[in-house]
A = this chain, B = another copy of it.
Amino acid sequence: MKTRQQAPIGRPRGFDADEALERAMRVFWEQGYEGASLTDLTSAMGITRTSMYAAFGNKEELFRKALERYTEGPAGYADRAMREPTARQVATAFLHGAVRANTRPGCPAGCLGVQGSLAAGEPGRNARDALIAWRNEGTARLGARFRRAVDEGDLPPDTDPAVLARYLMTVANGIAVQAASGATQEELKQVADMALRNWPPT
């Protein structure tokens, strides 16, 4: 069999799909799912509606792909935090990463996973539900990480890892709202440090 991994028959795409997705992600991040019209999106992506539909499916799928890109890009701090050696370091890296990602100059303030769609009308329900799942998955992964920390003796044995995870995610979500309200990086850094002050002793 011929493994034609690089056989793009026909006219090749005239734009950088990665770059276009990055632009779309920004628009969703800034205006939310419902607030971002196809005109907003495609004009920011520099392509026409037809090209967008051919490359990404429809608005909903474009949003999903933008969210994936967001997860691995601006929200990549979460994955990195999870790999820190101790629970305390995980928590610190997670919150500090959230503060930085939510107040990065040149990027929209806040978190796509929060303000992308928190409440929505009927046509935006799927996007909203996708974000709910996204956030809850993050909480679950934090919980799993802290459960391991309890098992390893890195956290007191009477610690409830699920509560710890939800507490951390709650503060991160709050930081996202605060960033969207105009809070500065310094202000939120202080908030994060205060939230970490009552972390259980190792």
Contacts and interface: CB of A to CB of B under 8 A. Distances in A.
A12 interface: no
Contact of A191 (B120, B170, B177): B170
A40 B114 contact: no
Q: How many copies does the complex hold?
A: 2
Contact of A183 (B108, B121, B166): B166
A132 B182 contact: yes
Contacts of A35: 34, 119-121, 124
Q: Per DSSP, are chain A's interface residues mostly helix, strand or loop, or mixed?
A: helix
A71 interface: no
Contact of A119 (B31, B167, B183, B188): B31
Contacts of A171: 170-171, 174, 195
Contacts of A174: 169-175, 177
Interface of A: 29-32, 34-37, 40, 108, 110, 114-116, 118-121, 124, 132, 135-136, 160, 163-164, 166-167, 169-178, 180-183, 187-188, 190-191, 194-195, 197-198
